[in-house]
Amino acid sequence: MSNNEQVITIKYGAKLKTLKSYLIGLFLSLLLTFTAFICVGDHLLPDKALFILITALAVAQLFTQVICFLRLNMSDEGRWNSLAFVFTFIVVFVLVGGSLWIMYNLNYNMM
Amino acid sequence: MTAITTDHHHDHQLHADETDVFGFWIYIMTDCVLFATLFAAFAVLHTANFTGPTLKQLFSLPYVLGETMFLLASSFTYGLAMLGVYKKSRGTAVFWLMITFVLGLSFVVMEVREFMHLYADGNSWHISAALSAFFTLVGTHGTHVSIGLIWMALMIFQVLKYGTAPSVNKRLTYLGLFWHFLDIVWIFVFTIVYLMGVI
């Protein structure tokens, strides 16, 4: 094979990175970021709706970047990485949710 | 495309590489938990501004948008650098790594300026729990980015010296995980600290 452009096809526990996935990731991230900033900056929605919207946009951008940039997936190689990610999310959920619950309760009882 | 031979050593190396990357990924996950605790502290304390100003009064959304653009762009250009590494093109890799470095440095410079202005105006971490939590969370993220920049500079030298050798490829993979992870944390910083702070 006289192909001068050798391409490394070894995957490091994630899908192979491609220009296409990076471009999609960039485009989506920009879209989500600008939407969030414009909605808050111009106060396009009532407060509660804004909170929910930007949270949703942040989570969407999280998934965008994890899938498009980090290329996390459930293939044979990627399964363990994805599992660690899910576990971490559970730990974070307990930590943050639990802390907020406790402190809210404390605050209420100390009023 | 290079055909991957399946001799025993190569197979072993392949699996060793995946295991090593998994190990680094586990570290990234612990870093995630660290940031989660800082976020939790911030969430509890962000309204505790004592006699100082509310955080809302101190933030500039256009400025933060600028920071966000620099960091997002750097995450993208790092991807372009990795594509150069995969194509075994040393020049492409170094070029995009340098661009990534400049973009990342711009982010850090902007953040340092913001901190310096806050401090100079008397709005330091000393005066309230809210500002304490703010500086800790955002500062920790900024410190991570700065260390990433040092690592990146070292990797640029390594690529220049050793080219796209497998060991260099591996280290760039780790740095890539680190760098993308920092942009992901920043998504939550600008959302929870700045956007929610201003609503």
Predicted ipTM of the assembly = 0.89
What percent of chain B is helix, strand and coil (3-state, nearest 5)?
Answer: 85, 0, 15
DSSP state string for B8-39: HHHHHHHHHHHHHHHHHHHHHHHHHHHHHHHH
B17 and A12: CB-CB below 8 Å? yes
Q: Give the minimum alpha-carbon distance from A3 to chain B in angstroms, rounded to a whole number.
A: 7
A61 and B87: CB-CB below 8 Å? no
Q: How far is CA B157 from CA A75, B161, B165, in A?
A: 34, 6, 13
Query: Burial of A111 by CB count in 10 Å (0-12 exposed, 13-18 middle, 19+ buried)?
Result: exposed
* Reported pTM: 0.90
Q: Which of the four pLDDT bands, split at 50, 70 and 90, describes residue A13?
A: low
* Interface residue of A3, A7, A10 to substitute, partner B, most B CBs within 10 Å: A10
pLDDT value at position A110?
A: 86
Domains of chain B: 8-198 (1.20.120.80)
pLDDT value at position A14?
A: 64
A37 and B26: CB-CB below 8 Å? no
Residues of A in contact with B167 (CB under 8 A): none
User: Quick one: closest CA in B to A4, which residue?
Assistant: B1
CA distance B94 to B193: 34
User: Rounded mean pLDDT of A84-90?
Assistant: 95
- Percent of chain B clearing pLDDT 90 (strictly above): 87
Q: CA nearest B174: which of A12, A69, A76?
A: A12
pLDDT value at position B30?
A: 97
B187 and A69: CB-CB below 8 Å? no
Q: CA nearest B118: which of B175, B60, B174, B46?
A: B60
CA distance B105 to B83: 22
- Write down the mean pLDDT value for chain B: 93
pLDDT of A2 over the 50 cut? no
User: Rounded mean pLDDT of B12-19?
Assistant: 77
pLDDT of A6 over the 50 cut? no
Q: What is the dihedral of CA B45, B46, B51, B55, to 10 degrees?
A: 160
Q: What is the pLDDT of residues B114-149, one digit of tens each?
A: 999 999 999 999 999 999 999 999 999 999 999 999
Residues of B in contact with A85 (CB under 8 A): 29
Burial pattern B133-150, b for ≥16 Cβ within 10 A else e, equals: bbbebbebbbebbbebbe
Tokens of B103: 């973009």
CB pairs under 8 A between A and B: 138
pLDDT of B46 over the 70 cut? yes
